[in-house]
Structure 1
Amino acid sequence: MMRILVVTEQYWPEGGGIELATHLIIKLLSQIDDMEFVVVTGTEKPKNEDWEEYLYVPTLDCTNKYALWFHLFRIRNRKWFEKLIDSVDAVYVPRYCYPVIPSAKKKGVKTVVHLHDYQPISPGAAIFPNSDGRNLLEKIEDEIRSELIKYQSKSRAFLSGFTVPLNKLVQKWVGQADDIICVSRRQVEIIKKEAPGLADKIRVVYNPPPEISKRVEGPPEKNFLYTGGDDPLKGIHVLFGALSRACKNNNWECTLTKVHQKKWRRFFQELGSRSDCTFHVNGKVNYTELKKIRSNSAALIFPSIWEEPLPFAIMEAMLSGTIPIASRVGGVSEMVEGTYGEELLFEPGNANRLSRKMERVNDLSPDELREIGSSLREKGTSKFEREKIKQKFVNTFKS
């Protein structure tokens, strides 16, 4: 029996795509008779279906990485944690709990780190397109730009520049792991350029797909869906720019989720009032309801402006038969390769090109939408086949 310790800040249903991926991976591997999991997390009520043991550590639920690492320095020296490491065959770090890696390696326990972003080469964990292979000054500039875009705080952006040299510590921690899992070829390409010392330990394994019900027969509604919220890195400003152009001549229906800021709600309300377009602007939407909305939408709009390694939004759209209209960032190109979605890729930040792609989808007939949706599901199911993904994870932990 192989016993694996998972140390993570949050666990599904808290968090976002990383937490969902961790949940799906554990669920998939728990199907194997000789693998069992012990989970240490800061989530009080996680979705627990497949664990052998669960330990709730509230200090792990930190929004600040530096506070998290401070708490982990204390936790990793506690007797109960040392005994826990002694009782397992491997330690799995799916997010930012990197300080446990040296403790595990000191005891000779295999350690696997899963990178869903770019934390080892960027304090903010995000990389802008065409900015890989940067020198130190360029890294500082990009970090300040990222923080300024996301938080619109000059003081926070200025201070973030000082964290770039400190991020070498993350590379040191991650470099001590036995294996590093990345989720797309593009992510590996970017990380290898800026952290070549990690290259020999990296392997690419796609995240397993969530369960997606097959769409009821019939074409989807002519409805566009955006799920990126008001995070500027997700490109809500690009979407607004595209719709400001396109709504002059169209009567589209658009659903937006995770939009909490009053200014964006007001912007879309005003755009709807001066055009024939209809906007359904929502805050948090539960996962089950989101799946229903997506399955009834003709297309998902994904205007992200950073190199997202393997966005679940694209994967779920494909498996739902919903056409992705996405910016050419990160792992998106390899996800939609060979599908109609590949023809709809546009350069990040190009609102004019996005509006044209949306018009192209809007002009599709019901039969064309049905045919494209069926093809997307077929190719998505083949690309993200659970059994292949499961075997790659098994090989990683048992090698």
Structure 2
Amino acid sequence: MKTIQAVARYFPENCGGIQTHLSELLPELEALGVESKVVAAQEKPEADTYSYQGVEIYRYPAFPVPKPEPLHGGSGHGGFEYFAQWLKQQKAEIYHQHQWEPKCGLAHLRLAKELGMGTVVSIRLPHPICQRNTLMFEGKTACDGKLDLMRCSQCAGVPKNLPSTMIQALSQVPISVSEKAKGKLGFLALPAYIAERQKGLVEMAKYADRIVAMSQWVYDAIAINGIPEEKLFLLKHGISESLVKTTVSQPRKADGILRIGFLGRWSPTKGIHVLVEAIKCLPTDAPVELIIHGVPQDEPYRQRLMDRIGNDSRIRVANQLKRDDISAALSNYDVLAVPSQWLETGPMVVIEAHANGLPVVGSDLGGVAEKVTHGVDGLLVHPSDPKSWAEAFALLAKDSSLLDKLRQGIKPPRTISMEAADSVTLYQRILAEKSVKTAYQMASSL
């Protein structure tokens, strides 16, 4: 079986979790008889072809860099013809798109479908559904994902006193016109954006043989918008077997200090500020230490937190970790803190922590809540309440037996080979359906 795996960017340039996970998945697919090529955009005016970790990579230009927009590339972008020409030359049976944005979006999926390939789109982020890009209703509570013009417009910033008739009328304005409304009255463009998101989800379902939900909340959010469940496939992440330890992590060190680790981006959505405030809520003699391994992203945010941390000896900002160093770092913690402030399908670090026998204190939200069982292999707390986090840390610092119980409650994690096997099952199912459809069409034409 031959497949095309499509992403918005790829190695060796700086990449995120989607590309990292894909690079780890490809060898597993190959071991199961699936040949893959990666196609990815690049912000250059020309195309490139090269090999990375034994996989052929084709980089098509997305130049000039397209602006973000709700249909996620419905009209193509500068350089799209390079992608089109390359894809037409491939003899692939499956086209699997792992992102949904202008550089890798609707136009790319539509072409693959028109070329007769089996088509798959994986959804890992709230962006295809949520104008706020977080799926947090008014930034405070988890949303069910139902696209509703009135509710979504007001959540995104339209004044609540704006009449529904006005919102409905604004939703009919073309995006090109709405763009001109930005500025002091930028909210006037929001209804049109939300209407386009609704349209984009319908178009995705039209051209994708399957929409892969990488978490249960994604599955539910897509289904609640009327997408047929036969179009959906739940495919949860797995972790490389090389990262799975066969022994439980070591008990707390003799000094009695609860060591709390954090791995993630310097971004408000990752919630480092909540952890900092939680430590500040605790008595100065509380036996806790927070170790932050941050990945650069939002420098003003990082600087504000550095100022807030000051000379507090209980909070240590450590170096950014390389991929190969994560397992060793996790072995030095007693718990991993995952204070996500938005709905995530992962984060993968939760699975990595459990693979290393490390309990997780995480936000009771989205993918974190799906991966952590409260009181069994970790603790779930209110995402944005520092006092709740402080109470959880104080409890673990005081009760070492609870920490031992949580360690013992960790079950073997789902592996990436399991994910690969499920992916192959999905691909085979799509091809079988296409074969039956082709046979039926041929019989009908006789």
- TM-score class, shorter-chain normalisation, is 0.7 to 0.9
Distance 1:230 1:63, change over 3 A: farther
Residues 62 and 372 from structure 1, CA distance in 2 versus in 1: closer, same or farther, beyond 3 angstroms? farther
* Paired AA for residue 218 in structure 1: Q
How far apart, in 1, do the equivalents of 2:183 and 2:344 lie? 25
Which residue number corresponds to residue 174 of structure 1?
A: 204
Shift of the alpha carbon at 1:313? 1.8
Measure how far apart 1:100 and its partner are. 1.3
Structure 1: how far apart are the matches of 2:291 and 2:211?
37
| Equivalent in the alignment of 2:128 | 120
Q: Distance in 1 between matches of 2:84 and 2:310?
A: 60
* Residue identity matched to 1:11: Y
- Aligned residue for 1:361? 396
Query: Is the CA contact (8 Å cut-off) linking 1:118 and 1:126 kept in structure 2?
Result: yes
Task: Please say if 1:136 is aligned against 2:149.
Answer: yes
Q: Is the 8 A contact 1:41 1:57 kept in 2?
A: yes
Structure with the higher helix share, 1 or 2: 1
1:83 equivalent in alignment to 2:88: yes
**What's the counterpart of residue 441 of structure 2?**
none
Separation in structure 1 between the aligned mates of residue 417 and residue 326 of structure 2, nearest angstrom: 26
Deviations 1:91-138 (A, max 9, x none): 010112222111111122110111112233124542114322352132
Q: Which amino acid aligns with 2:15?
A: G
SS in 1 for 2:265: coil
Question: What does residue 278 of structure 1 align with?
Answer: 314
Quote how far apart the aligned CAs of 1:209 are.
0.8
Say whether 1:93 aligns with 2:93: no
Counterpart of 1:363 in structure 2: which amino acid?
K
Q: Aligned pair 1:218/2:260, yes or no? A: no
* Counterpart in the other structure of 2:173: none
Q: Which of 366, 384, 393 is 1:349 aligned to?
A: 384
Q: CA 1:388/1:286 → structure 2, altered by over 3 Å: closer, same or farther?
A: closer
1:258 corresponds to: 295
**How far apart are 1:371 and its partner, in Å?**
5.8
Please say if residues 7 and 93 of structure 1, whose CA atoms lie closer than 8 Å, have aligned partners that are also in contact: yes
- Output the TM-score relative to the length of structure 1: 0.82
Partner Cα separation in structure 1 for residue 422 and residue 157 of structure 2: 37
In structure 2, the partner of 1:304 is 340
CA separation of 1:79/1:141 partners in 2, compared to 1, >3 Å: closer, same or farther? closer
Instruction: Give SS of 2:5's match.
Output: strand
Aligned-pair CA distance for 1:294: 1.9
| 2:230 corresponds to which of 187, 200, 207 | 200
Q: Could you tell me how far apart the structure 1 residues matched to 2:303 and 2:51 are?
A: 32
- CA shift, 1:208, in A, is 1.9
Aligned-partner residue type, residue 95 of structure 1: Q
CA RMSD of aligned residues (A): 3.4
TM-fit CA distance, 1:143: 3.6
Alpha-carbon contact 2:66-2:77 (below 8 Å) kept: no
Task: Note the residue ranges of structure 2 that are not aligned, 5 or more in a row.
Answer: 43-47, 159-181, 430-446
Q: Which of structure 1's runs of 4+ aligned residues deviate more than 6 A?
A: 43-47, 153-157
1:319-334 equivalences in 2 (<5 Å):
319-334=355-370
Q: What is the CA-CA distance between 1:298 and the residue it aligns to?
A: 0.9
CA distance in structure 2 between the partners assigned to 1:231 and 1:156 by the alignment: 27
| Aligned pair partner of 1:191 in 214, 222, 225 | 222
Instruction: Verify the 8 A CA contact 1:326 1:345 in the aligned structure 2.
Output: yes
How many residues were matched structurally? 379
Q: How far apart, in 2, do the equivalents of 1:244 and 1:287 lie?
A: 30
Q: 1:174 is aligned with what amino acid?
A: M
Question: How far has the Cα of 1:76 moved from its partner?
Answer: 5.0
C-alpha distance in 2 between matches for 1:198 and 1:88: 26
Are 1:245 and 2:278 counterparts? Answer: no
Give the gaps of 5 or more residues in structure 1. 146-152
Select 1:373's aligned residue among 407, 421, 427. 407
What TM-score do you get using the length of structure 2 for normalisation?
Answer: 0.74
Is 1:120–1:174's contact at 8 Å kept on the other side of the alignment? no
* Secondary structure of residue in 2 paired with 1:196: coil
Report the Cα offset of residue 325 of structure 1.
0.5
CA contact (8 A) 2:50 2:58 kept: no
- Could you say if the C-alpha distance between residues 113 and 190 of structure 1 is closer, same or farther in structure 2, counting changes exceeding 3 Å? same
Q: Equivalences for 1:12-161 in 2 at 5 Å?
A: 14-33=14-33, 35-42=34-41, 48-51=52-55, 53-59=56-62, 64-66=67-69, 69=73, 72=77, 74-75=79-80, 80-85=85-90, 87-96=91-100, 97-98=104-105, 99-128=107-136, 129-132=141-144, 133=146, 135-144=148-157, 158=187, 161=190
2:336–2:358 CA contact under 8 A, matched in 1: yes
